Structure 1
Amino acid sequence: MKGTVAAMIEPMKMEYQEYDIPYPERGAVILKVTRTNVCGSELHIWRGHHPTKKQGVLGHEMVGRILRIGEGVETDYAGQLIKEGDRVAAVYYQTCRKCEACLRGEFPLCENAYYFWNKSPVDKPHFHGSFATHYYVHPNQYFYKVPDNVPDIVAASANCALSQVYYGLSKAQLTYGETVVIQGAGGLGLNAAAVAKEHGATVIIIDSVETRLKHAKDFGADYTINLNEYNTVEKRAEYIRSLTHGKGADVGLEVSGVPDAFSEGIHLIRPGGRYVSIGNVSPGQITAFDPGLLTRKSIMILPVVRYEPWYLHKALNFLSKTIDKYPFEKMIDAEFEFGNIQDALDKSASRQVTRASIVMS
């Protein structure tokens, strides 16, 4: 039995390749991909901005059905019994539990997190990314069953966008009654708005696309700020102070991927506040920054890369409990066939679509 991968030969160039579907080693699982999304980090790679991944199979936001189960695997990482045909979502990186970072308990910083994802599809087991008909879940890769009431169109976003912002807001220790300002109303920002609202926070969200801002209201945003209307940092900061008794937001969350958004963040937050940086993942993209203001305001900056793997389980449970409260399925505004992945990437990069999803036949 053979499967197909969509391999990036070089930035902005892709071709389809066919390989034998391997039998899983002990502790591994093979999935048949049912849906996978174009995430913002894929766009960084597609443009050639990623520090290490310059070719190979892209894709990591996904959901699939178990095709083959390796020896010794009886449950997912939450102890739930599994069988062939079950829907699961996998954490998109591995946790080796042997490197210095893992030994410190810092699983998101595992030094071998992308050991397989960075491989060429020529290297077995071939199916290293989710832009493919199949996906190989390695023995050191957490995975969880998808609740029955969470459809594929919603579940596919759980293992990156939702888990990432859930973890980021947890690190910021967002509590009931606080105010959070979210920079960016894409998939990460919309998920973050819902998570923050469920924490009992007042939610302010910033973007330049009015349709995104209208959509943010459906995900719990109390206030929206259009960058075209409030067209300077000073205007945006002043407006946020007017909404927060003259102080500024308690927590800031940057998920725009724009370097200047990071330097702006400390202007929007109250003295003693917390600022979470998630969106800027491409080294070498520079912005001017005011370190004196940071010190004077004593703001805590929390850079977040990846997430603790069990947050995927938390994210799936979050979706199950709030599936009728927020229009998660409407977060995907464009669907593409497997043969049109390059079109999905190009239209996402040009912001013609907010969240593109690849649906397998």
Structure 2
Amino acid sequence: MKGRLVALAGLEKTEIQEYDLPEVEPGAGLLKVRRANVCGSDLHIYHHLSVALRDIVMGHEFVAEIEQLGAGLTTDSAGAELRVGDRVVVVYFYTCHRCAACDRGDFAMCLNSMRSMALRPETAPHFHGAFATHFYLPPGQYFYKVPDDLDDAEVAGANCGLAQVMFALDKMGLGRGQTVVVQGAGGLGLYAAALAKTSGARVIVVEGEPARVEAARRFGADDVVDFSVHRTAQERAEQVAALTGGRGADLVLEVTGRAEAFLEAIEFARIGGGIASVGNLNVGERFQLTFAPALLTRKQLRVHGYLRYDPWYLRKALEFLQATKDRFPFASLSDRVYTIDEIDQAIARSESRDVARAAVVPG
């Protein structure tokens, strides 16, 4: 039997390629992709803004079902028993448990994290990405069984967007009574708003796209600083100050992917506050304005960048979705579904920013 996948075959060039389905080695699994999302990172990769990920199988945020289990693979990473047909979500990166980062307990920083993602499509077992009919689960990669009460649309974003911001907010000390500013209301920003609201924080979202402004309110934003009203960085800083009684935010989460947003985050944060940068992944993005490092010192800010998460946060993400599925419209992150043959349309739709996540299915 053969499967199909979306290969990135050059700058902004996709190809549908076909390969024989691989034999499943002991401890591995062959999954049938049910639904994937176009994440902001996929757009960066598509434009060759990632140095490490080029000429790859695209897609990493997804839900799948088990088609075949290799010898010895009988449970998920939490010990739940498995059978063919069970739905699962996979931690999209690898954790080797052997490198210097893993040895000191920094599993989110595993030096071999891109072991599978960075492989070229022609490299067996071929199915390294989520924009495909199948996904090959290598031995040792973390994955979790999906609860029956969560549908595919609700759970497809758990293994990237939700787990990522949950990890960042947790490590930054999100707590009840805080004021949290979320910069951007794409998928990560909406998940962050819901997490912060559920934690008892006051949530301010900074966004400009009308559809995303409305979505931010549905996902828990108490206030929105709208780019169409507050057009300059100074105006937005003044509005955040006004909404916080002049103090500023306890915590700012940057998930825009814009380098300039980091400068605004510094203005939004209170003295002694924290900034978590999750959206800025591309070293080619630079400040276009003068930056005074003294601002960090004088405001005594805690600044931390987060790329990936400790893998068990994916299980925590599933538990959060179960607990809040009736409170927040997680399935509404996508408003229509594209097939992998329509991947260029899905990418264009995501870049238009009028939807948080374009959804992709095998066909």
Query: Which range moved further: 181-190 or 9-18?
Result: 9-18
Secondary structure of the equivalent of 1:89? strand
How high is the TM-score relative to the length of structure 1? 0.98
Task: Give the equivalent residue in structure 2 for 1:348.
Answer: 350
Residues 187-231 of structure 1: per-residue CA shift (max 9 Å, x gap): 110010000011100000011112211111111100001112112
Query: CA RMSD of the aligned region, Å?
Result: 1.1
Q: Is 1:241–2:241 an aligned residue pair?
A: yes
Deviates more, 1:179-188 or 1:67-76: 67-76
Taking the aligned partners of 1:26 and 1:223, their CA distance within structure 2 comes to 52
Partner of 1:326: 328
Report deviation, 1:338.
Answer: 2.1
What amino acid maps onto 2:341 in structure 1?
A: G
C-alpha displacement of 1:346? 2.1
- State the one-letter code of the partner of 1:144: Y
SS at match of 1:57: coil
CA contact (8 A) 1:23 1:68 kept: no
CA contact (8 A) 2:36 2:60 kept: yes
Letter in 2 for 1:182: V
Aligned to 1:301: 303
Counterpart in 2 of 1:23?
23
**Counterpart Cα distance in 2 of 1:140 and 1:19:** 24
Residue 353 of structure 1 and its aligned partner are, at CA, apart by 3.5
Unpaired runs of at least 5, structure 1: none
Measured in 1, the distance between the counterparts of 2:163 and 2:11 equals 27
* Identity across the alignment (%): 47
State the number of aligned residues. 361
Amino acid across the alignment from 2:204: I
| Residue equivalent to 2:281 | 281
Whole-Å separation in 2 of the counterparts to 1:300 and 1:352? 32
Partner of 2:126: 126
SS of the residue corresponding to residue 19 of structure 2 reads strand
DSSP-derived class of the 1:31 partner: strand
Separation in 2, partners of 1:155, 1:136: 19
Contact 2:275 2:302 in 1 (8 A): yes
**C-alpha displacement of 1:38:** 0.2
Q: Which amino acid aligns with 2:313?
A: Y
Report the alpha carbon displacement of residue 347 of structure 1 after superposing the two structures with TM. 2.3
Alignment of structure 1 residues 67-146 onto 2, 5 Å: 67-146=67-146
CA shift at 1:272, angstroms? 0.4
2:315 paired residue number? 313
Q: What is the identity, as a one-letter code, of the residue corresponding to 1:233?
A: A
Q: Distance in 1 between matches of 2:292 and 2:84?
A: 54
The TM-score with structure 2 as length reference comes to 0.97
Counterpart CA distance in 2 for 1:339 and 1:345 is: 12
Letter in 2 for 1:298: Q
Offset of residue 140 of structure 1: 2.4
* Equivalent residues of 1:179, 1:251 under 8 A apart: yes
Which residue identity does 1:276 align to in structure 2?
A: A
1:337 maps onto 2:339 in alignment: yes
Partner of residue 51, structure 1: 51
Contact 1:263–1:290 (Cα < 8 Å) also in 2: no
The one-letter amino acid of 2:274's match is R
- Does the aligned pair in 2 maintain the 1:334–1:355 contact within 8 Å? no
The AA in structure 1 aligned to 2:319 is: N
Mapped contact 1:7–1:121 kept (Cα < 8 A): yes
1:55-80 C-alpha deviation (Å, 9 max, x unpaired): 11110000010011111111111111
5+ residue gaps in structure 2? none
Query: Equivalents in 2 of 1:197, 1:89: separation in Å?
Result: 25
Letter in 1 for 2:337: E
- Match for 2:249: what amino acid? A
Give the 4+ runs in structure 1 shifted more than 6 A.
none
Structure 1 contact 334–353 (Cα < 8 Å) conserved: no
Q: Distance in 1 between matches of 2:211 and 2:354?
A: 12
